[in-house]
Amino acid sequence: MYVIDNNYCSACGLCIDICPVEAINIFGEYKIDQNICIGCGLCKEDCPCNAIKEYVQTA
C-alpha cells in the first residue's frame, strides 16, 4: 500500500500520469484510492519529491 505525504508533494501530477489504474485523485490534496491501487509502485518510483511512501500495516 502506498500513501502520499502532502507535506512533501509539489503537486506536479507525475504520479497521476503514470498510474496504470487511475488510483490517484486530487480532492484538495493528492490521495491514493486504496480500493483501486494495485501496489505496483510506479508512482513512488516516478515521484521527484519522494512524497510517496510505502505503508506496511502491522498486525
Grid coordinates belonging to 16: 497521476
Determine the pLDDT at residue 6.
95
3-state secondary structure at position 51: coil
In-domain check, residue 56:
no
Range of the domain at 22: 2-39
In-domain check, residue 27:
yes
In-domain check, residue 57:
no
Determine the pLDDT at residue 57.
78
Grid coordinates belonging to 57: 500495516
In-domain check, residue 53:
no
Grid coordinates belonging to 31: 490521495
In-domain check, residue 45:
no
- How far is 10 from 30, CA to CA, in rounded Å? 10
What does the pLDDT profile of the chain (59 residues) look like in tens digits? 999 999 999 999 999 999 999 999 998 999 999 999 999 999 999 999 999 999 887 76
In-domain check, residue 48:
no
Task: Name the pTM for this structure.
Answer: 0.88
Query: Into how many domains does the chain fold?
Result: 1
In-domain check, residue 50:
no
**Is 30 buried (19+), middle (13-18) or exposed (0-12) by CB count in 10 A?**
buried
